[in-house]
Amino acid sequence: MSVEVTKKLVGENLDKCADEALEGLVAMNPGLRLLGKSRNVVLEDLEVIRGKVAVISGGGSGHEPFSAGYVGKGMLTAAVPGPIFASPPMQQTYPLIRHLAQYEPSGILVFVFNYTGDRLNFGLAVEKAKLDKINVEMFVNGDDTANTGAQAVGRRGMAGNMFLLKIAGAMAEAGTSLSEIIAELRFAATRIGTIGVCLNPCSLPGQPPLFSLGPDEIELGLGVHGEAGVARMKLKPITDVVTAMITHMTDPQNQNSLELGNDEEIALLVNNLGGTSQLEELIVCREVVALLGEGNFFFLWRYSTFKKKKTEFKFATEHRNLAVLRAYTGHFMTSLEMAGVQISIFKLGDEICKKRWLPWLDSPTDAVAWPRPLLSKISTNRFTPCRIALQIGSIEVDEEGDTTVTPVLLDKTGVILFHNALLSIIAALRASEHVLNDLDSRAGDGDCGSTINRGANGIMVGLEKQVINLQNPGKALETISEICASDMGGSSGALYSLFLAGACRCFLHANSEADLQTLWIEAFCEGIANLKKYSGAEIGDRTMVRCFKTSKWPFIDALDPVKNVLQNAKPGKWTSLLEEAAVAAEMGAEATITMKARAGRAAYVAVENFHGPDPGAKAVAIWIRAVCDSLAG
């Protein structure tokens, strides 16, 4: 985190970050316990390791949930977290080994992620424990494929080691001997590779970032301690980024590469490095699966749905046709707040290996950080399922009763007036997009005008394609209601859709002989009632409903007399009433300037931050004025 953000969260005492985080972990999970005054986390019930292998692992803090998050039956017996990005000292690990030995395990496995400090400090503890005649062995592994040349210290330990930790824990729980577990891990380790990419670097608590990236740059092959990677690239679409990662991981010219042929069966792990949103993380998962083995599946769906250009067939033909039998995603081994991901691939090999490794990956564990993918009932392996066909079913209609209702239809003049009113509304809302966005930016997310403009554009498309039946106002309002819900989206789309859904009912349930002017008035009022029912907004609220309520006020107080007048009203009288409604709507919108919002997103914003009318109410005033001007013309 940045210096400022870290201090906001943990105060000035940055040295205790790791300790307090571990205290939080055990507070949430009382089946875990801190051991003595150390940072070591152990299982509450250590009797379960009697006669079995105990598995411990650790390293610097700042990689949460590693390592303490993997303590649980079927995975780690204990974790040894050090200070942030620093190896735990021998004096922390050795007492833990001695403590575990009191429960008479058949052996103790110390699993070390390959970093120099960890090898030295864990190695010292293991050697000291061996002098005490404790059956303990250390296994060290690195799975990083970023560095292309041979390294004297070996590959760095990355998130791919989580596959091995899970296998070790499952084998230990099954009663496998220490020597057999280590032999299996050594063989499986040769079939695992990891590559990472960073969008934003991390920083130690209270310190500046460990390296810098430009706004259009990403780092390929970074480490998990904030160290820079092996290559810097310009920001590209996610498909290109994932392609570059897999290409580097499997490049035969890379001495640390993972040999990955076509038609292999693999397990996949996508590790969130800490600051990547889950939305982005899942998009990466989609792209990795598509690139490795199911590009055609995803491409065909995208092409048929969005009519993409045929040049995108390149995306479908670059995949390797691998079978991703298991896939895991989430925070496994983070790097504080670093924005980025790691991709780890575990080649499952032939049937003999697969029949051993898959059950160990699938075996249950109590470790809180290990993910549990929801597999299909029809297959024990992961696959990307087809979409389920939507089945709405038939709706029974009382046809005998339905024949008594003849739909309300407009004559030729009415259709023209209706059409012109809609065109006037569309033009007015399009012209007001930037004004409404500006009003919304002062107390919202600045997209009110754009949102409403999408609805206006959707209505225009409906008119052009003649999907809006203007002769039948009930059906027309119903269609426009659906357009608002689908094209506008969000709260505004739902509000307008509810308003129009309420309005259309008046026409759909009315007899063809009903008075049109009265029906329009009743439809308007019914739409407002529908808004009130579902939005919770009342008169005096700073919302679009304020404008609705003000603009209907002249009709509500004397609804029946107005109906009687309108039935015999001359065009001039009708025009004056529309003008009265438009003026009232504009006054209602202006009145929202001094109101405290009690509904919508603006309800969370202090009143002093408002510097104009509510954008939703302003939009209503705009389209009511557009209707008035259109009919008056």
Q: Which sequence positions are flagged as catalytic?
A: 225
Whether the bond into 67 is cis, omega within 30 of 0 = yes
Torsion angle of C-alpha atoms 497, 499, 504, 506, degrees rounded to 10: 160
Backbone angles phi, psi at 345, to 5 degrees: -125, 135
**CA–CA separation, 219 and 105 (whole Å):** 44
Return all residues near 468 (Cβ < 8 A) that are at least 6 apart.
422, 459, 462, 476, 479, 480
SS3 57: strand
The tokens 């299996």 sit on which residue? 184
**CA–CA separation, 633 and 630 (whole Å):** 5
**CA–CA separation, 333 and 309 (whole Å):** 39
Is residue 220 within 8 Å of 233, Cβ to Cβ? yes
SS3 109: strand
- Angstrom distances, CA of residue 173 to CA of 93, 105, 163, 166, 256: 22, 11, 16, 11, 32
The tokens 């299909």 sit on which residue? 376
Whether the bond into 209 is cis, omega within 30 of 0 = no
Backbone angles phi, psi at 61, to 5 degrees: -75, 175
Backbone angles phi, psi at 127, to 5 degrees: -65, -40
Backbone angles phi, psi at 591, to 5 degrees: -65, -20
Q: Which amino acid would we find at residue 440?
A: D
Residue 292's H or E segment, with its range, is none
SS3 233: strand
**CA–CA separation, 534 and 485 (whole Å):** 15
**CA–CA separation, 301 and 291 (whole Å):** 15
